[in-house]
Amino acid sequence: MHSVPVAGIRQLLVSGGSTMAAAEVARQMSEGARNLSLSGHVGFDSMPDQLVNKSVCQGFCFNILCVGETGLGKSTLMDTLFNTRFEGDPAAHNQPGVHIKSNNYELQESNVRLKLSIVNSVGFGDQINKEESYKSIVEFIDAQFEAYLQEELKIKRTLHNYHDSRIHVCLYFIAPTGHSLKSLDLVTMKKLDSKVNIIPIIAKADSISKNELQKFKIKIMSELVSNGVQIYQFPTDDETVAEINGTMNAHLPFAVVGSTEEIKIGNKMMKARQYPWGTVQVENESHCDFVKLREMLIRVNMEDLREQTHTRHYELYRRCKLEEMGFKDTDPDNKPFSLQETYEAKRNEFLGELQKKEEEMRQMFVMRVKEKESELKEAEKELHDKFDRLKKLHQDEKKKLEDKKKSLDDEINAFKQRKTAAELLQSQAQQSGSQQTLKREKERKNFF
- CB-based contacts of 331, cutoff 8 Å, min separation 6: 337, 341
Distance in angstroms (rounded) separating the CA atoms of residues 336 and 24:
12
Sign of the torsion angle spanned by Cα atoms 302, 305, 309, 310: positive
Judged by beta carbon, residue 119 or residue 241, the one nearer ligand GTP is 119
The answer to whether the CB of 246 falls within 8 A of the CB of 236 is yes
Cβ neighbours around 135 below 10 Å, total: 13
Question: Which position's Cβ is nearest Mg ion?
Answer: 75
Residue 240 beta carbon to ligand GTP: minimum distance, rounded to whole angstroms: 32
C-beta of 84: minimal distance to Mg ion in Å? Answer: 15
Q: Is 75 or 281 the residue whose CB approaches Mg ion more closely?
A: 75
Among Mg ion, ligand GTP, none, residue 70 binds (CB under 5-8 Å by kind): ligand GTP
As measured in angstroms, the least distance from the Cβ of 137 to ligand GTP is 14
Q: Which of Mg ion, ligand GTP, none is residue 16 near (CB under 5 to 8 Å by kind)? A: none
DSSP for residue 330: B
Of the pair 200, 258, the CB lying nearest ligand GTP is at 258
Per rule CB under 6 A, is residue 91 in the interface with ligand GTP?
Answer: yes
Name the minimum Å distance from CB 305 to ligand GTP: 21
In angstroms, rounded to a whole number, what is the distance separating the alpha carbons of residues 281 and 293? Answer: 15
Report if residue 125 touches ligand GTP, rule: CB under 6 A: no
- Near ligand GTP by CB under 6 A: residue from 61, 64, 65, 72: 72
Using CB atoms within 10 A of its CB, is residue 18 exposed (0-12), middle (13-18) or buried (19+)? exposed
Separation of alpha carbons 289 and 360, rounded Å: 69
| Residue 90 is a binding residue for ligand GTP (CB under 6 A) | yes
- Using CB under 5 A, list all residues that contact Mg ion: 74-75
The Cα–Cα gap between 229 and 191 comes to 9
Q: Which residues, other chains included, contact 267 with Cβ-Cβ below 8 Å and sequence gap of 6+?
A: none
Cis? peptide before 48, omega within 30° of 0? no
How many residues bind ligand GTP (CB under 6 A)? The answer is 15
Within residues 236-275, the interface with ligand GTP by CB under 6 A covers: 257-258, 273
The distance of closest approach from Cβ of residue 135 to ligand GTP in the complex, given in angstroms and rounded to an integer, is 18
Contact residues: ligand GTP, CB under 6 A: 70-76, 90-91, 204, 206-207, 257-258, 273
